[in-house]
Structure 1
């Protein structure tokens, strides 16, 4: 859990930069990859000036796990917001339940928060989360979970420790240590309804798989398949982080990234017109917003 931030950065940081130190040719390929996956978004109007990680300023990052299936524009079924402060060496991590009922900024309606991506892509998802928690979002990383299997296959599969015996999408997952190929890892990370923990159980499995990719991706053995890794990254990841940003984060934010405080959003599940939502009280939103704004040195 405490390595989840590094685990996401590894997709385009440790896998990329970490491998890159071995050879200039590889580093050049890494630079090209980061240029391909770099997709800017508008600067947040909740900040006066653009944040700079090269100046070691506190920053926020929204992690989006998007499920793109054939014939579907996709929804951000996994949303994790993190605020990282290198001064107090701490990271606040908020997992935002996908059924959270809120205003979809730019759509003019109240709906599930994960629908923001379906309606307007990354920018609408960012704007909606900013409005929900009243903080600026400086960076984002979007991972296509459907294509995530390619990343897992590129590192020759991953090892996880499963705490729930279940069968899903034709795959049986026994309790204990498992080695998963790409298709199995995708199925493992998607299951929700067979787990009493619901979204929280699924998020835990997603983090397991991502951390397993970190472990494999940061190893020297990845050098033998780095072209496959870079190709999988190009096809399945988007971010507004630049290569210089990634290098600065690895260099100056390691202590903060390893000291994570998990913030739980609480609310009441209810049905409106037959549709399930999680309703989060305004007091809860304000409490979390205050905590995050303090972490960003905004108040």
Structure 2
């Protein structure tokens, strides 16, 4: 029994040292947590260690207790042993349960490369995954499957953007396309380019948001060798529209955010105008389910967060305004998932995440993706380019794809220049102004954000701050909806 105790103490010491090493390297932690095999091994090992510890405690008590104990002393001793076994085994049991849940989540989200087929996913070299890839492009789609919509996850991808990431510096450009972009073209080398030589046309509106469902339905024979027909179709469309090769997709069910936000205890966002819950402009019943009041740092539950993301009834900027809010909500969820919340509500959060996300990223590519995420964090440059109907010549009904290719390439180059300038050695003393190098004028501060301009990159964080916006249309907002009164330092709100 003594030897067994020494062995267990040695194993615990080794595990403790390994834990310190892992926690000091967040990327290693994330990479390990996403590996199903590792997490199952850890879960089983924790159960075994807990069982052995309980055996050692009980065995030691039975062997070493005096034979002359009274009944009262035996009772006290038994209670003490029970408490000690609980104190030792409970944390290990909880850790084991979390490990099993993580393994289940990872297995559900990230299948094995050998057990899934994709016509668009890259094949990576194990030794240096990004050796031959200057950029990795990940399609991020938001599926809106609310009331009155198809129930299959993501059959209407109302939010579509692509993260274009430099594999060396981590500099990232988010390319955001509107759902109502009409007649999108496909990658020239894709089978859909031959099927739709003049651009996607489903006999209806021919929107980009319809490609996921309608293209595979119209030409099922082109998708027999893939488990992701809708994703492959949309990836080919993004390649044609942006001129950039798409490697992976991640689909987020916007309505699935309700469970996730509730599991997190709510999420805090800036609400720039009273947001209508329910209703539509065509029916004239905007806000039939209520309103989300305006104001900075509003704490929303799951249902309100869902309406914040998908309401279009009185949204300034129409679809573009909704696209912007959805980006802000996703950013807020990521930023506010603090460790304390993750620990206390881990199983609920894991279940909600499993119901919300679909992707073709396989288990075998996770370590490389996690490493890439670390480079993005280290690079610290994330810009966005959005194409907005009626601004800078962009027309959703007749997009100029050659011009879009040029603007996206220019935005990628500008993002690269920004991260290179950020990482360049800074002079110890500022250079004096000369006739050739005049001092730059001080930036002009403004209380209102600039209008979104198609073809120009903007910093993502800037678009999610609080700034009052006038709601679209003349919808009656009940007097019961609180009116936010800003302090003197903020722009005055126009009364409704």
- Normalised-by-shorter TM-score class: 0.7 to 0.9
Higher strand share: 1
Q: CA deviation at 1:153?
A: 1.2
Q: Quote the RMSD (CA, aligned, Å).
A: 3.2
1:141 is aligned, of 250, 258, 276, to 250
Which string of whole-angstrom CA distances, capped at 9 and with x for unpartnered residues, describes residues 12-46 of structure 1? Answer: x69x76xx89946524422321221236562439x
Whole-Å Cα distance in 2 between the matches of residues 85 and 172 of structure 1? 41
Which string of whole-angstrom CA distances, capped at 9 and with x for unpartnered residues, describes residues 68-99 of structure 1? Answer: 23551531000011110132331111111111
Alignment of 1:25-64 (within 5 A): 25-38=97-110, 42-44=118-120, 50-51=123-124, 55-56=129-130, 57=133, 58-64=135-141
Determine the structure 2 residue equivalent to 1:65: 142
Q: 1:243 to 1:229 in 2, by over 3 A?
A: farther
Instruction: Identify which range, 237-246 or 176-185, moves more after superposition.
Output: 237-246
Determine the structure 1 residue equivalent to 2:353: 233
Report whether the alignment pairs 1:284 with 2:403.
Answer: yes
- 3-state SS, counterpart of residue 305 of structure 2: helix
Whole-Å Cα distance in 2 between the matches of residues 141 and 209 of structure 1? 16
Determine the structure 1 residue equivalent to 2:171: 90
User: Which one has more relative contact order, counting CA pairs under 8 Å at least 6 apart?
Assistant: 1
The count of residues paired between Structure 1 and Structure 2 equals: 272
- Give structure 1 stretches of 5+ with no counterpart: 1-12, 270-275
Whole-Å Cα distance in 2 between the matches of residues 64 and 239 of structure 1? 10
Q: 1:146 to 1:140 in 2, by over 3 A?
A: same
- 3-state SS, counterpart of residue 100 of structure 1: coil
Determine the structure 1 residue equivalent to 2:340: 220
- Judge conservation of contact 1:100–1:278 (CA < 8 Å) in 2: yes
Determine the structure 2 residue equivalent to 1:114: 209
Report whether the alignment pairs 1:162 with 2:271.
Answer: yes
Q: CA deviation at 1:198?
A: 1.5
- Judge conservation of contact 1:86–1:253 (CA < 8 Å) in 2: no
1:175 is aligned, of 294, 300, 323, to 294
Determine the structure 2 residue equivalent to 1:3: none
Q: TM-score, with normalisation over the residues of structure 2? A: 0.49
Q: CA deviation at 1:155?
A: 1.0
1:78 is aligned, of 144, 159, 169, to 159
Whole-Å Cα distance in 2 between the matches of residues 255 and 245 of structure 1? 16
Determine the structure 1 residue equivalent to 2:17: none
Whole-Å Cα distance in 2 between the matches of residues 244 and 42 of structure 1? 14
Which string of whole-angstrom CA distances, capped at 9 and with x for unpartnered residues, describes residues 88-144 of structure 1? Answer: 331111111111112465464431111111213222212211222232211111011
- Judge conservation of contact 1:146–1:186 (CA < 8 Å) in 2: yes
Determine the structure 1 residue equivalent to 2:376: 256
Whole-Å Cα distance in 2 between the matches of residues 249 and 66 of structure 1? 23
- Give structure 2 stretches of 5+ with no counterpart: 1-29, 43-93, 187-191, 217-229, 279-288, 417-496
Q: 1:266 to 1:156 in 2, by over 3 A?
A: closer
Which string of whole-angstrom CA distances, capped at 9 and with x for unpartnered residues, describes residues 259-291 of structure 1? Answer: 11212325559xxxxxx9443213322314545
Q: CA deviation at 1:248?
A: 3.5
Determine the structure 2 residue equivalent to 1:194: 314
- 3-state SS, counterpart of residue 168 of structure 2: coil
Whole-Å Cα distance in 2 between the matches of residues 114 and 280 of structure 1? 15
Determine the structure 1 residue equivalent to 2:241: 132
Whole-Å Cα distance in 2 between the matches of residues 148 and 130 of structure 1? 28
- Judge conservation of contact 2:312–2:322 (CA < 8 Å) in 1: yes
Q: 1:245 to 1:153 in 2, by over 3 A?
A: farther
Whole-Å Cα distance in 1 between the matches of residues 399 and 388 of structure 2? 6
Determine the structure 2 residue equivalent to 1:272: none
Task: Please identify the structure whose Cα radius of gyration is greater.
Answer: 2
